Amino acid sequence: MQTLTVDLGDRSYPITIGTGVLRQEFIAPYIRSKQVMLVTNETVAPLYRNTVYEALQGFQVDEVVLPDGEAYKDLTHLNLIFDQLLHKRHNRTTTLIALGGGVVGDMTGFAAACYQRGVNFIQIPTTLLSQVDSSVGGKTGVNHPAGKNMIGAFHQPVAVLADTQVLNTLPDVELSAGIAEVIKYGLIYDENFFAWLESNMQALRQRDPNAIAYAIYRSCEIKAEMVRLDERESGVRALLNLGHTFGHAIETHAGYGQWLHGQAVAAGTMMAADLSCRMGWITAADVVRIEQLFKAADLPVKPPSDMTPDRFSELMSIDKKVMDGKLRLVLMQRIGQAIVTDQFDQAALMQTLQGQS
């Protein structure tokens, strides 16, 4: 059992990582009153809902079971949470619990940010991607047909409980999607962690408990530090979006849910690596290392073949990092160091979008 703290002053909260954390002694201390609204989805509910119910004996537990998938991360399905909160007469001392992956966590957090102008919520992430990334940092929201995560709020949880045992039921493709975000941390912040991933990728994919636990801990440690320094993403926290501008464009183009988020991030990160190389910041050998690691994780390294440069440009133009009409991208200066910049060569970007060698 390991615990990290996201240090945000009086809004600080713990990230508890380990096996068997879905128990009352870990959950109950973060619940304000007897009212609890459990939000989960159709896939996770049959697996872990009863475990959480057992941990919440003595509380009034109501629930919302959402359909599973990125395609349902929208305002229509968000309203199902508000409907149940109102129907069951939850007040502003209620606590929402997000039991699921990134979609459930983002929607529950956004509902908590909005309901009666803000109530507490607990993150219980059940995918590797949500354990290492989306459950930490308070980014919440839903998608719009024109752009991913364009409607939302910053609203920090009161606790994150990452039970590594739940990953045993995670499909291999979902595990790989989570590894994409783990690789990101090495690329933007820690070259030694990147090298560790090169040496331990097989162990991660085979779900070795020690490898999984270390990957989650180090990823959360890096993210917690960036959130501490820049909670609302006005500076260093934007580095966490490496590959995401390209990746979100891929997700929007393909239709939400057709590409898993981690798959799109992997392909998008390769595009960021390609552009970084064209800018002379990383070497061709670095690009090969990055590509080999994504391939070892069984992740795509190319965007959809039907995405044109014009389509990329159209979708990237509404990215949240656009400022004063200028597109900003997260690029690598070396493995382990990244930068957010609008100072990139437009011709080089076009070559990247065209996939030219």
pLDDT of 234-255, one tens digit each?
A: 889 999 999 999 999 999 999 9
Position 35 confidence tier, pLDDT thresholds 50, 70, 90:
very high
- The whole-number average pLDDT for the span 16-44 is 96
Residue 285 identity: A
Q: Are the CB atoms for 122 and 98 separated by under 8 Å?
A: yes
Task: Out of 188-202, 248-262, 318-332, give the one with best mean pLDDT.
Answer: 188-202
- Characterize the bridge pairing of strands 120-125 and 159-163: parallel
The tokens 């929607």 sit on which residue?
A: 107
Residue 320 identity: K
Residue 321 in this model has a pLDDT that exceeds 80: no
Position 229 confidence tier, pLDDT thresholds 50, 70, 90:
very high
CATH number for the segment(s) 2-169: 3.40.50.1970
Name the active-site residue from 70, 174, 181, 291.
181
Domain residue spans of the chain: 2-169, 173-354
Q: What is the DSSP string of 37-74?
A: EEEEETTTHHHHHHHHHHHTTTSEEEEEEEPSSGGG-S
Position 322 confidence tier, pLDDT thresholds 50, 70, 90:
confident
Q: 207-221 burial, b for 16+ CB within 10 Å, e for fewer?
A: eeeebbbbbbbbbbb
Q: What are the CA-CA distances from residue 263 to residues 39, 89, 251, 258 (Å)? A: 25, 40, 9, 10
pLDDT at 240: 96
**Strand runs (DSSP E) across 114-158, as ranges?**
120-125, 139-144, 147-154
CATH number for the segment(s) 173-354: 1.20.1090.10
Which residues partner with 106 through β-bridges?
none
- Characterize the bridge pairing of strands 95-100 and 35-41: parallel
Token digits of residue 189:
């912040």
- The whole-number average pLDDT for the span 199-207 is 97
Residue 223 designated active-site: yes
Residue 89 identity: R
Q: Which of 26, 32, 75 is nearest to 55 (CA)?
A: 26
Name the active-site residue from 73, 90, 139, 328.
139
Residues 56-73: pLDDT tens digits? 999 999 999 999 999 999
Residue 168 designated active-site: no
- On average, the pLDDT of the chain sits at 96
Name the active-site residue from 70, 174, 231, 233.
233
Residue 233 designated active-site: yes
Percent of all residues in the chain with a pLDDT value above 90, rounded to a whole number: 94
Residue 23 designated active-site: no
Name the active-site residue from 148, 155, 261, 278.
261
- The whole-number average pLDDT for the span 160-183 is 97
Classified as helix, coil or strand, 160 is strand
Name the active-site residue from 174, 231, 241, 291.
241
pLDDT at 280: 97
Residues 71-103: pLDDT tens digits? 999 999 999 999 999 999 999 999 999 999 999
Residue 357 in this model has a pLDDT that exceeds 60: no
- The whole-number average pLDDT for the span 13-20 is 96
Phi and psi of 161, rounded to 5°?
A: -120, 105
Residue 117 designated active-site: yes
Residue 90 designated active-site: no
Residues 6+ apart with CB under 8 A from 57: 24
Residue 198 designated active-site: no
Residue 139 designated active-site: yes
pLDDT at 137: 96
Residue 356 in this model has a pLDDT that exceeds 70: no
Residues 208-217: pLDDT tens digits? 999 999 999 9
Q: Which of 193, 215, 194, 217 is nearest to 206 (CA)?
A: 215
pLDDT at 318: 82
Residue 179 in this model has a pLDDT that exceeds 60: yes
- Determine which of 38-42, 186-190, 315-319 has the lowest per-residue pLDDT on average: 315-319
Residue 248 designated active-site: yes
Name the active-site residue from 25, 117, 168, 210.
117
Name the active-site residue from 218, 223, 253, 278.
223
Where residue 304 falls (left for φ over 0; alpha for ψ -120 to 50; beta otherwise) is beta
Classified as helix, coil or strand, 182 is helix
- With vertex at residue 264, the alpha carbon angle to CA 280 and CA 129, rounded to the nearest 5 degrees, is 110
Name the active-site residue from 248, 253, 278, 328.
248
Name the active-site residue from 237, 253, 278, 328.
237
Name the active-site residue from 73, 148, 244, 253.
244
Exposed, middle or buried, 310 (CB in 10 Å: 0-12/13-18/19+)? Answer: exposed
Which residues partner with 65 through β-bridges?
40
Q: Which of 141, 227, 133 is nearest to 178 (CA)?
A: 133
